[in-house]
Each structure stands twice: as structure tokens, then as C-alpha cells.
Chain A
Amino acid sequence: MDILVLMKVVPDVVEELEVGSDGKSLDTSFLRTIINERDDHALEQALLLKDKHGGKVTLLTLDAPDIDDVLFTALAKGADRAVKICGVESVQSTQTAVKLFGETIAKTPGLLPVDLILTGVSAIDDLDGLMAAPIAQQLGWPYAGVVTQVALADKTATVIKEFAGGVRGEYEVPTPAVLGIQAAEKPPRYVPVAKVRAAMKSQTIESVDAPAVEAATTVEVQQMAKPQVTGHAEMLEGSPEEVADKICELLAKRGLL
């Protein structure tokens, strides 16, 4: 069972984000990126399937600063091959990313055939989850998203999707298929730095040139701004009796008593 995992980086929200001078994009001069968390879960799910069924796990990413660390970490965790698409900005609109991944998968020898393509179902810059489904469409493969469990059998994958209120749905998907992973069955594994360093010495990352794709213009950002601070919570201080009095007063003032 061979699996291709698509990964991309997103802006790291631990860092302070600044709006660029055009007022509609992030200022990239100090932007730091981090691997999309759900893509990390997709990798973990692929590794769990590999642990169970064997096969090869290949990673495909868009180039980004520090992406080599991410890829070597994945190789140290047990992935077999890592390919990065070079010559692109690290943070792309989802539509462009779809085109870049789609073209590269089709054109790069040895990436296909696989039984599954796994990727995060969404990302902080792709809340709609518009990555996986269009790639499935492009390949003519079935797609299932918001997946939290995958069981593989010959020619089919049984996947679990979780809905609100603890409702779970079990679906059977013919393979090859594209799955959008919400969460892996287990939290992503830890691989010690020493093993990552060993991977850096013994393994290599392949680079492919980004295919020429037209910038997608379907949706355009009109304006980007930091959240406005609008008001503060009022702290009621004093003894419990005093606080209780103040609460009554407030409620009465607002006509609730």
C-alpha cells in the first residue's frame, strides 16, 4: 500500500502577524511559517497505515524556509521519500497550491501510482478545505474529507468521519482515493533530534521545479486587518456580598430583574 502525503506550510500564529503595505495580504518580511497541523496528522495517518500494511510513504511539499527540517523529520519518522516543489513562494493561495500539486503529481515520474493521497482536510489559511477535493477531481479519484480513521483493505478504504454531537459515519471508498484528514488515529509521533540528524546524513530530499501555473484569480482578498479592540470586561471587585449587590444592580439596570 503506497501513500502520497501532500504537505504545505502556513503562517505561524505564535508569531505576531503584520498586515502588508497593500492592506490585503500578510507582511511576509518577518513571517515565519509552520507545517499545517492537519498535514502533520495526514503524515501520521500514513505512517500508521504503513506500520500496519507496509508499503511506501512519499511526501510532496511546496518549498519553504525550514522545509528541509520538516521533511527530514518525516523521513526520520519513517517516510520513505521526500520531494519538494521548488521555485515558489512558501505561502500560496489554496487555488494555486492545488494547481502546483496537481501538475507536479501528474508530471513527476514515480509519484503515482499510489493507493491513497492524504492531506490535511483544511488549514488556517484554507478553512473551507479546498485543497484535497479539487486534486481528487483532477485525478478522477473519489474523495472523502474530515476523516479521523482509515482502515485499508484490498481496493477499498474504510474511513470514519466525525460529525457534530459525537455522531460518526463509516464510509467505504474505492482506492485509489484522496482523503482529507481531520486528525490521525493517534497524535503525531515524536522523533528525537538525533534520529532527524541521522536522517539528514543518510537520506536526501528530491527537488522538482514548480510547473508553470497561472495565478488563480477566482477569489480576491479585499482587505486584511488586525482585530480591533472594542471593549473590556468590567471586573466586579469587593467582598462576595458587595459583588452580589453590584450584579443585582447591573441586572436591574438592564431590566432583567
Chain B
Amino acid sequence: MDLDPVRISLMGLPAWAVLWVLTLGAFGVFGFRAWQLVGLLLKARSENRFDQLGARVMRFVRHVLLQPRLFNEPSIGLAHFLIFWGFVVYVICFNWSLVRGLLPVLPIPYPDEFGPSAFFLDVFAVAVLISLGAAVVRRVFFPPAHLHLSWDANLILSLIGILMLTTLFGGSFRLLGEGKTSSLWTPFSSLVAMVWPTMTSPDAHRWAKAMWWTHMITVLFFLVYLPYSKHLHLLASPFNVFFGNLRPAGDLSIAGGSEDLAAGSAKWNEFTWKQLLSGFSCAECGRCDRACPATNSGFPLEPQQLVQKLKKHSIHAGLAKPNGNGEKLIGDVITEAEIWSCTTCMSCIERCAVLNEQIPIIVQLRRHLVSEGQMAKTVQDALNNFNRYGNSFGKSDRMRAKWTQALGWKVKDARKEEVEYLWFVGDYASFDPRLEESTRKTANVFKAAGMDFGILYEGERNAGNDVRRIGEEGLFEMLRDKNLQAMGKAKYKKIVTTDPHAFNTLKNEYGLEGVEVLHYSEVLDRLATEGKLTFKNKVTGRITYHDPCYLGRYNDIYEPARRVLKAAGAELVEMPRSFSRSYCCGAGGGRIWMEDVEGVKERPAESRVREAAALGVTTLVVACPKDLVMFQDALKTAGLEGKLVIKDVIDLVEEATRQA
């Protein structure tokens, strides 16, 4: 008897013809939707993501095929991995099966008639079913915060379940139809066959065909439904990963961008195609929200929602005719408060399983607001101060090096004498009275270690890292140009700075060819290794270290400060959120010049000092001037004064190297 599922008639028509109609219909709808979505991307702004193809292929292999970022959350990592690979196997076999069904004259077997492919289908059906079970249990009983629990997701899980069950059941019926009870190629179908041992062969045939058709129709329905659902991520994210950002995350320029960055984006088609693709790729998993300090503190920002809003809006507005649907992206869809809540800490980018880049999208929106003059008064004041005085403190630029007066010795002027290290001091270290002492310690430690260094004195301006992230592109360029002008007058080989924010922009956005830009933690580490720092009075006590966002996540520098602290004698204890999981102090991206909004629960810095205090350490060590200020304030508001001390790395180094 013939087991071929297309050699029957359905509603009076040959089954293969019905299959043709269904296939053309499903692929037609799928193709139309795909064409619509690609059309949107083509209308968006340009961005060159076609360089370094080798690196892109490697990235694809790593993040699409191996998915290490999904394993960051063990409860779903393996399950997703198995579902993904099951999907790959099933897609191949589906197409094989479909071709065979559409062209019955082909002299090839169906995939479930061929031992090895039947084996893969059989084994993956069970693996995927178990994974689906894990996914459902997680969704229903242990949903992590910010996982989007949509009807959509449940439908898709159900559809995948149907596909797996039809495979196992179909396999069992096929065995029985062939007059067998088990096969080594399909062990699990053999087990299922034991459920209906008395089934007659003709019945088994009919059931096997029914399973095949159910399977095929489900897949065809899936094909139609997929590009309208959150499972669009399954189509878009491999491309999203392939076209991911290969340049430093700390560089906000757009490669190959044709538009003026400064005007930003207020409409869906003012984003780059890659930014829109981010929306299509979002799987609504909530990893970004769970990591986001703004979200966790109750600020009105959830990176996932922001990306989803951009996705929905770009589809609605982009497909509406002729001039959008009247919905304004900023205001109606995304609020200004959301846009300003971001600290640009990069946790979302670091965590995103599909390698989305949320912060450049937020900065694009900010650029638009800035170009319209829409910002908090405090931010406006800061920008005006940057413009006039080159610092946010509103102090005279001539006072920039005033901290050196109490040193008792003269720091070289790098514009006048050649030095090895140009020390870019930065605003906070120069002007904040709370930090002056640390800045002088840095100078003294550098000097004692025999370092040849100088500063730019009043020639230095704010490096512009945070100005750029506020969205004031023109002002950033102005500050950068002024610094480059002053640096052009100086002779130096390397740049060192204590400020990770300045460090990031100097390193990644200044285009300084052939100049090594170093964070002071790296320099101290080198000096210690070279034996130029001798730790005579080792410090004692348990401490913990906070990884600054712009040093760690943005620039992947984690170890130098730790090595230095250990060399100085400290017993280093790690916080639960350390290294790339470090938790932002809340000051970045210009947030330091903004007021908290209503409804804020625990500020990021308070959460962080509590985390440190819970370790039972005496000291929270930082390597960023802004951190020192933020955490010292947080100690007061969190009621931890006297229980924990905030110190800079340099404080410990200075103490340990001090001449007795």
C-alpha cells in the first residue's frame, strides 16, 4: 500500500494540486510581507555594515549558531539552543518534504523515509518538546521580570509543539503502516507506536497522511504568521547579528551615514536601516530591561519597549499611506522622559541576545530633541557652560589647572615641553572640590614613579563624551576640535586620563592615529609591573571594586585596576554585579545634569552602595571621578555613612606607596 501523502485526493482534487495552492498562497503572503519590511529598510537612512565580511561571518557563527548570550540565562539558554537547532533541522526537512510533495515524480524519498534524516527528526522532536516544556514552565510559573508574556508567544510555542507531535505521531503511524512496531532510526516514534499497538495498517496509513498534512499546513500557517509576530526575530536577527556593529561600541558616529548627525531622528525613516532592523530582531526577551539601571530604578525607560515601539511605529507609519498615520514618534509613541532616562551604561547592548544597539537609537532621538531646544533647564545650563567655558561647572577655563597650585611643584605644560604622557585631566578631576585631593595624589604618584607627563592647562576642554551622548553633536565636535587643536600644539607619545568617559571618547571618537590612549588604572598597572611603583606600606582590609561603564563594558578593561589594588595589599571581594555585569552609578549620558523624575525608587548609585555594603567590606573602590561623587552622595541617602567608605584607586595606591 502507498504511504505517499500526496497520492490521495482531497475534496475531489489531487492532493499534490492542493499542496501547490497552499504553498503558493503561504509563500505569497510571506514574500509580500518580507518585501514590505525590506522596503521599509530601503527607505531608511544608509549605514555601511558591509565591511569586514570575515569578521561578520565569525560573528554569525558565534551568535546565531552557538548563542552564548542566551546561555547567560541558564533557565532558557539550552532550551532555546535546542529549539533553534530543531528549527534548522525541521526547516531543511520541511523544504525537502515540500519539494517531494509538490513534485511527486521526483525519485527521492521523504525525509522521514530516509534513515538518518528520520533519526534527526525523531530525536529533535523530543528535544524540542522538552525545551518547549521548559519554556512554558518558565513563562507560566517563573516568568523573569520584563519578559513579554504575550498571546503571540504562546501561540508560537503551541504551533511548534504541534509540529513536533505530528512528527512523532506520524512516525509511529508510518511504522505501523509498514507493518513494523519499531525502528532503530526512530526510537521515540517506536515508543509512541506502543500506545496504539492494535491499529490496523489501513488506519495507520490514513493517520500517517493526516499527520503529514497537519504538519505541512501548520508550517505553512507558521510561515504566514511569522513575519507578523514576535517571531519575526527568527528571520531578522540572523541578519541583525551579521550586520552588527564591529566598531567600538564607544563610537557614536555612523559609518557611511549620509545624513547630518546633528539633526537626529524624529521620524521612522530618519533612523538607519540597521536601527530599524533592530526592532524587527527584538525577541521581547527582556534581557535589556532586566539589566537597565533606569528600568530598575523606576525611570520611565525600558529599552525593550523603546525598541518595540520603534518597530511598531516604523511598520505602522511606514506602511500607512501616503504620509504616515499622523502618529508622532516623539511624543505619541516614545516620550521625552523615556529618551532622557538613559544613562548610556551599555548594559542593554552588552546583554542583548540578538546584538541590538539600543543606545545609538536613543542618542538619535536625543539629537532631535536638542536640535529643537527641548531639554531640561539643567542640561541646557550645562551645555551653555560647555560652550562658553569648556566645562560643566561654569567655572573659568583659566581656573582649570588651579588644583596644581597646592601641589608645591609645577606640572609640565605639555604645550611647551615634550612629555611622554599627556595627562588629560578631565572636568570633574579638575574642578570638583571633592576630587581635587585625589587629582593631586594622582600627580604625586605619577611623579614619584618617575613618569614624564604634562597637562594642557587652560587649553583643555571637556572631552565631550557625555555632551555627545546628550545629543549635542555640534557642541561635541566643537569641544573635540578645540582639544585637538590644543593637543596639536603638544608633543607627547601617550595619553592618560582618570576619567573613563574622557578615556572612551579620546580613544574611540577622536581619531588619534598612532597615539595610545590609556586609563590611569592601566598606567598604574604598568608602573607596578615595571617596578616603578613600590608598595611599601601595604594597605589592609577587604575592599570591593566598581567597574566603570565606560572602562569595562565599553572598552573591555577590567583587570588592571584589580591587579593594582591587589598589589597594593588590598583583599579584593567581588560584588555580585561585577565585570561586564557591573551596575551603573546613574551619572552617565548626561544624567548627572538631570533631576530625578517622580516615582524613582532606589537610585542606581544607592543600589550599588548597598550591594557593596552587603559584602561586609570597608571600602568601595572606584576608578572614575564621577563615581566617587555619585557614591559619596548615595552613602548619605542610603544611610550607609560610617559603614562604607568610597575611595579612588589612587587613594589606595598613594597610601601604599607613601614614603613612611
Contacts and interface: CB of A to CB of B under 8 A. Distances in A.
A234 B91 CA distance: 82
B468 to A, nearest CB: 12
B373 A190 contact: yes
A239 B619 CA distance: 26
A197 interface: yes
Contact of B473 (A14, A15, A191, A194): A194
Interface string B469-497: 00011110110000000000000000000
Interface string A16-41: 10000000000000001010000000
Given A195-B371, A195-B474, A197-B474, A190 B396 contact: no
B395 A193 contact: no
B623 interface: no
A48 B40 CA distance: 39
A191 B373 contact: yes
A154 B370 CA distance: 35
B396 A192 contact: no
B541 to A, nearest CB: 28
A187 interface: yes
Give the contact-size bracket for chain A: 10 to 19
Interface string B62-90: 00000000000000000000000000000
A15 B472 CA distance: 26
Given A14-B389, A197-B474, A192 B371 contact: yes
B260 interface: yes
A34 B385 CA distance: 12
Contact of A14 (B377, B396, B474): B396
Nearest to A187: B377
A45 to B, nearest CB: 16
A131 interface: no
A189 interface: yes
B388 A194 contact: no
Interface string B353-375: 00000000000000000110101
B371 A193 contact: no
Contact of B396 (A16, A191, A196): A16
Nearest to A32: B396
Nearest to B263: A194
Nearest to B475: A193
Mostly, the A contact residues are loop
Contacts of A12: 396
Most buried by B among A34, A187, A192: A192
Contact of B383 (A14, A32, A190, A196): A190
Contacts of A14: 389, 394-396
A246 B380 CA distance: 45
Contacts of B475: 192-193
A193 B478 contact: yes
A15 B396 contact: yes
A189 B373 contact: yes
B398 interface: yes
B465 to A, nearest CB: 16
A190 to B, nearest CB: 4
Interface string B543-581: 000000000000000000000000000000000000000
A189 B374 CA distance: 9
A15 B478 CA distance: 22
Contacts of B375: 190
A192 B386 CA distance: 12
Given A14-B394, A14-B395, A192 B388 contact: no
Contact of A34 (B373, B377, B388): B388
A12 B302 CA distance: 43
Contacts of A193: 262, 387, 472-475, 477-478
A192 B370 contact: yes
A192 B478 CA distance: 11
A195 B262 CA distance: 9
Nearest to B388: A34
Nearest to B467: A193
Nearest to B377: A187
A189 B384 CA distance: 11
Contact of B472 (A16, A32, A187, A192): A192
A24 B386 CA distance: 33
Nearest to B479: A193
A16 B371 CA distance: 33
Given A14-B389, A14-B395, A194 B380 contact: no
Contacts of A192: 262, 370-371, 373, 472-475
Contact of A194 (B262, B387, B395): B262
Complex A-B, nearest 3 residue pairs according to Cβ-Cβ distance, in ascending order: A193-B474, A194-B474, A194-B262
30 contacts: A14-B389, A14-B396, A15-B396, A15-B398, A16-B398, A187-B377, A189-B373, A190-B370, A190-B373, A190-B375, A190-B384, A192-B371, A192-B373, A192-B473, A192-B474, A192-B475, A193-B262, A193-B387, A193-B472, A193-B473, A193-B474, A193-B475, A193-B477, A193-B478, A194-B260, A194-B473, A194-B474, A195-B371, A195-B474, A197-B474
Given A190-B370, A192-B474, A192-B475, 15 more contacts: A12-B396, A14-B389, A14-B394, A32-B396, A34-B388, A187-B377, A187-B380, A192-B262, A192-B371, A193-B473, A193-B475, A193-B477, A194-B260, A194-B371, A194-B473
